Structure 1
């Protein structure tokens, strides 16, 4: 299941701090909570940072997914108010298997190397594309992109498999009114993020996102999935 992708977007624009954390729950239509994610952002006096998100299934999803856990990590430096990743790692495990992907950035050569570790196999290849950010650092850097409020395409390692493209759209007029109704609030910032990747029955993975006054995501919705309605992620702590 791809619930953690939604959770990644929920952590957009966390402000710089020594340690900042948040917890999110993900629900699906008529079902109870299907997943819980803990996000942690830490900066250090030496100018380095770590982002860690651990997402785990719960309830019926825990049974159906064989107790699935996904961990996403970004490590790098903080420079001029922006996060610059040096390493991005993704770990997926269940009761029966485990896989790890590690992306290492060579910004000078504009190259990203990808290591895959699964069971007793190991592989290291050049990634299909270069991006200066991974999906975690991108959304933590998002406040810089919000200033102009212009629709744009961004690129991040961990985005869609082909080229990492992510589209950001700022709604206006009727679309803004619709989003406010869908997200059940009129406060904060509203934007639509298109992952350009299939998530469940959503062809492009279009997410409606509401950011609170503190810069944290309050709620995100992936609309009309399969037969049961929306996938909804909301901050609970």
Structure 2
């Protein structure tokens, strides 16, 4: 299980509601449902926000991963309608270990500090690159890019380790028709996201995403995964 497997299924625009919740199932070839992700997004009166995703493996995947669970959390401020993170946290747990990574943003100095907690030891360092968003806030901020439907080259902490690059593509013409067929719907908005990372040995980590009229992800596909075909994330409530 990789970070982005459960992150991409909550690719969504920022809504006006105080609290937004959604649950997704992720299926993978012969494994069928390999995991469940519960997402929660909330805003506060002091113009701060919190995003939290809790993901857990199920069935065969749970057994093969030693009961692996993951938690992702972003906290920060809302500035001119956009989410600006102060901290981004990832916790990965199995039956035998627990690793916590905490990223702290200094936007003025364009620096991200990383703290790693593993087996009772703490290591602190400066992250290899700076990005103004983490992977959660980037996906929630996508409404700002959708207004003009222009392709975007973006960077986020929590994306690929080399430089955090993510390409957001708004397809047109025959490409949209193909995406509609693959995603099994004619309704909503369609976006392609390239993670530039070999997630589960996929070529570039290419995601096909269907957003409903409210901007909430209904279904997403990670294409061409080695041996098993596609990984599919689908909203169940």
- Specify the alignment match of 1:62 in structure 2: 62
Greater CA deviation, 221-230 or 55-64?
Answer: 221-230
1:205 deviates by 0.3
Q: Could you say which residue in structure 1 is the equivalent of 2:192? A: 192
Corresponding residue of 1:175 = 175
Give the Å deviation of 1:7.
Answer: 2.2
- Give the secondary-structure state (helix, strand or coil) at the position aligned to 1:6: helix
Question: What secondary structure, in the 3-state scheme, does the structure 1 residue paired with 2:199 have?
Answer: coil
Distance of 1:131 and 1:121 partners within structure 2: 26
Does the 8 Å contact 2:203/2:224 carry over to 1? Answer: no
- How far is the alpha carbon of 1:80 from its aligned partner? 1.4
2:50 aligns to what?
50
8 Å CA contact 2:170, 2:190 repeated in 1 = yes
Point out the more displaced range, 11-20 or 179-188.
11-20
Q: Count how many residue pairs are aligned between Structure 1 and Structure 2.
A: 236
TM-align CA RMSD:
1.0
| Aligned pairs (5 A) from 1:37-186 | 37-186=37-186
Any stretches of 5+ residues in structure 2 without a counterpart?
A: none
SS of equivalent to 1:60: helix
Structure 1 residue runs of 4 or more that deviate by more than 4 Å after TM superposition: none
TM-score, reference length from structure 1:
0.97
Q: Quick one: distance in 1 between partners of 2:232 and 2:164?
A: 23
TM-score with structure 2 length normalisation?
0.97
- Distance in 2, matches of 1:185 and 1:14, equals 23
* SS of match in other structure, 1:75: strand
Whether the 8 Å contact between 2:28 and 2:228 is mirrored in structure 1 is yes
SS at match of 1:78: strand
**Contact 2:102 2:114 (C-alpha < 8 Å) held by counterparts:** yes
Whether the 8 Å CA contact 2:4–2:159 is kept in 1: the answer is no
